[in-house]
């Protein structure tokens, strides 16, 4: 393939002549870069740092809850911990990590040299550490960070009639600022993705030949543009209420606390799909490649993705059934409907494996793990969607378990799958497969040990967001098992980190296309040169690299 000897922007990898540059030059290069691959890498590094912080906060909660009436931390510290855990994991780990994969892969998958707006791309990235810093600075404030949970319902997050804050200090204000910054960052990133795909696709790549991962990033971006500005506006109202006497949510001044909940969940539910859709895309890249078959029902899959996004904007009030201010029947119905396109996806993934020749690489195992865990997340969602059952399950550990099955399967199984699959493309080296399999087993056990007992104590009535519970309630055993499960998840995460750090330098050299994969990113060298492509293959289907490498299949029309 490419025989480049020296390029000024070369990342350390195969085929490159290592040129030692002064640290200052390297540093300046990274902080001023507009290269989508370097920005992608920086997104991944930032997200990993925040993942460790969010994970430590989860550890604090698991220690506190491991035994009844524990006093490992105070109630305030506990409340701050779950607030920050939720915020960090959603806004500073999952979204940036998906942006990392999107940045790396979307231009490569559509055959572009970079994103449409490289400088906007850099700006969007640098707002992540900025937002994270603003959020974490609240730990230095007199009353510590926000303790009103990531939903921050007024009046709790607001001020009382007399103007005193229910949560003292400026934790909430910094939190609002951070979410606004991070929301704008994601909106900018989303616009960039959409323009890149619409305007910069390689010749021959029609919209129905765009790889599934890129499709899901597009749909995700539209959802983000529809929903993030809404929550930013809602949080601006909250900030005005807190600091300038806005009283939007104060019933004594004609406001309504339920209004905030509508605004928040109008963003909050699409947010779930913002986090999950690209991961579905990752899995839809991996399962076909390791089954040696095309994705079953490519068009059906795109249609299902669009349906999920459309329905996803119509279900928000199922988070508010117990407010007594909701037409329960309607939102139960729309929530039920979402399981239909999700089911279609599940069946398409399963059918993709039919008559395949499945190879159990780490990436494939994690992808299968995603299917299996996401199914649990989806089925438990139906319980909540019924409306009637939600009156008993809402705000209990059942819900905590439900959305962790959804988001952890996305965050950990799906993203690990993606990194095992694309690490060779990013670095030119393989991640260690043995470590990957050990890590998979640890994670699979860990997730189920952590979240299955939570489901059971939740059914038994344990409310979420409580720092303690009494012994007579009988939730001790479930919580203890759950806390042990946390250790397994933490071990799996640490193993992954070690695997990445060691493999970057010492991993097996991968070659350009170690998996014999299909999409356009595998047509260039690994790692790609800064301009991405020396040449492009003919694009006559959604699998151009497969078509080029397997002329026999194309010749028989069997492609």
Query: Taking CB under 8 A as the rule, which mask of x and - marks residues 386-425 in contact with other proteins?
Result: xxxx-xx-xxx-----------------------------
| Residue closer to other proteins (CB basis): 293 or 540 | 293
Out of 16, 468, 502, 504, name the contact with other proteins by CB under 8 A.
468
Of the candidate spans 114-122, 192-200, 292-300, 416-424, the one that interacts with other proteins by CB under 8 A turns out to be 292-300
Of the candidate spans 49-57, 95-103, 239-247, 507-515, the one that interacts with other proteins by CB under 8 A turns out to be 507-515
Give the closest residue to 404 by CA, choosing from 337, 335, 354, 451.
451
**The dihedral of CA 341, 346, 352, 354: what is its sign?**
negative
Of the candidate spans 19-27, 105-113, 262-270, 368-376, the one that interacts with other proteins by CB under 8 A turns out to be 368-376
Applying the rule CB under 8 A, the residues between 244 and 263 that interact with other proteins are 251-252, 255-258
Applying the rule CB under 8 A, the residues between 97 and 156 that interact with other proteins are 147-149, 153, 155-156
Of the candidate spans 113-121, 272-280, 402-410, 550-558, the one that interacts with other proteins by CB under 8 A turns out to be 550-558
SS3 509: strand
Binding of other proteins by 465 (CB under 8 A) = yes
How many CB atoms within 10 Å of residue 251? 12
Out of 405, 416, 423, 440, name the contact with other proteins by CB under 8 A.
440
Out of 31, 56, 240, 379, name the contact with other proteins by CB under 8 A.
379
Query: Tokens 């080296």 correspond to what residue?
Result: 429
Residues with Cβ < 8 Å from 457, sequence gap 6 or more? 397, 475, 478, 479
User: Would you state the structure tokens that stand for residue 239, as one six-digit string?
Assistant: 């900030």
Give the start-end residues of each E strand in 413-461.
Answer: none
Out of 75, 133, 208, 531, name the contact with other proteins by CB under 8 A.
75
Out of 347, 484, 491, 509, name the contact with other proteins by CB under 8 A.
347
Give the closest residue to 218 by CA, choosing from 202, 203, 197.
197
Active-site residue flag, 284: yes
Out of 1, 28, 74, 501, name the contact with other proteins by CB under 8 A.
74
Residues with Cβ < 8 Å from 56, sequence gap 6 or more? none
Query: Taking CB under 8 A as the rule, which mask of x and - marks residues 167-206 in contact with other proteins?
Result: x---------------------------------------
Is 149 within 8 Å of 86 (Cβ atoms)? yes
- Longest Cα–Cα distance in the chain: 78
Cα–Cα distance between 525 and 523 in angstroms, integer? Answer: 7
Give the closest residue to 322 by CA, choosing from 241, 403, 234, 399.
399
Residue 556: phi and psi, rounded to 5, are: -80, 5
- Active-site residues: which are they? 85, 114, 150, 185-186, 269, 271, 273, 284, 318-319, 342, 345, 464
């Amino acid at each position: 393939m490419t025989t480049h000897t020296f390029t000024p922007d070369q990342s350390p990898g195969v085929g490159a002549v290592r040129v030692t540059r002064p640290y200052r030059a390297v540093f300046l290069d990274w902080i001023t870069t507009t290269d989508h691959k370097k920005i992608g890498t920086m997104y991944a590094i930032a997200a990993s740092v925040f993942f460790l912080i969010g994970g430590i906060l989860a550890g604090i909660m698991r220690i506190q809850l491991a035994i009844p009436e524990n006093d490992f931390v105070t109630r305030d510290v506990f409340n701050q911990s779950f607030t920050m855990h939720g915020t960090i994991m959603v806004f500073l780990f999952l979204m940036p990590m998906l942006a990392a994969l999107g940045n790396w892969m979307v231009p490569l998958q559509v055959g572009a040299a970079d994103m449409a707006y490289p400088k906007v791309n850099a700006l969007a990235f640098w707002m992540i550490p900025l937002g994270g810093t603003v959020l974490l600075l609240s730990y230095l404030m007199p009353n510590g960070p926000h303790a009103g949970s990531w939903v921050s319902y007024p009046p709790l997050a607001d001020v009382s009639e007399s103007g005193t804050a229910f949560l003292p200090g400026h934790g909430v204000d910094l939190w609002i600022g951070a979410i606004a910054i991070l929301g704008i960052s994601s909106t900018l990133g989303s616009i960039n993705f959409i323009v890149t795909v619409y305007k910069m696709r390689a010749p021959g790549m029609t919209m129905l030949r765009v790889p599934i991962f890129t499709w899901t990033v597009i749909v995700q971006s539209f959802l983000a543009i529809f929903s993030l500005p809404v929550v930013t506006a809602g949080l601006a109202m909250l900030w005005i209420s807190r600091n300038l006497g806005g009283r939007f949510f104060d019933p004594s001044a004609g406001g309504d606390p339920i209004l905030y909940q509508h605004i928040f969940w109008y963003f909050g539910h699409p947010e779930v799909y913002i986090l999950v859709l690209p991961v579905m895309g990752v899995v839809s890249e991996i399962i076909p490649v390791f089954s040696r078959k095309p994705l079953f029902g490519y068009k059906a899959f795109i249609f299902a993705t669009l349906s999920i996004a459309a329905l996803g904007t119509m279900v928000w009030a199922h988070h508010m059934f117990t407010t007594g201010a909701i037409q329960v029947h309607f939102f139960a119905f729309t929530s039920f409907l979402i399981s239909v396109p999700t089911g279609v996806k599940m069946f398409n993934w399963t059918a993709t494996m039919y008559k395949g020749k499945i190879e159990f690489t780490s990436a494939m195992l994690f992808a299968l793990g995603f299917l299996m865990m996401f199914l649990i997340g989806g089925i438990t969602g139906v319980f909540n969607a019924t409306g009637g059952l939600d009156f008993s399950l809402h705000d209990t550990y059942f819900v905590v378990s439900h959305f962790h099955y959804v988001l952890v399967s996305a965050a950990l199984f799906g993203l690990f799958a993606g990194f095992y699959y694309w690490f060779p493309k990013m670095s030119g080296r393989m991640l260690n497969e043995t470590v990957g399999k050990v890590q998979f087993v640890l994670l699979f056990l860990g997730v189920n040990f952590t979240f299955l007992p939570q489901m059971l104590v939740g059914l038994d009535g344990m409310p979420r967001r409580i720092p303690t519970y009494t012994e007579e309630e009988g939730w001790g055993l479930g919580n203890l098992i759950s806390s042990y499960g946390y250790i397994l998840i933490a071990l799996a995460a640490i193993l992954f980190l070690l695997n990445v750090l060691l493999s970057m330098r010492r991993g097996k050299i991968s070659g350009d296309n170690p998996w014999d994969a299909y999409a356009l990113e595998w047509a260039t060298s690994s790692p790609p040169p800064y301009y991405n492509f020396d040449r492009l293959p003919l694009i006559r289907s959604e699998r151009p690299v497969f078509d080029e490498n397997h002329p026999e299949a194309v010749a028989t029309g069997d492609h």
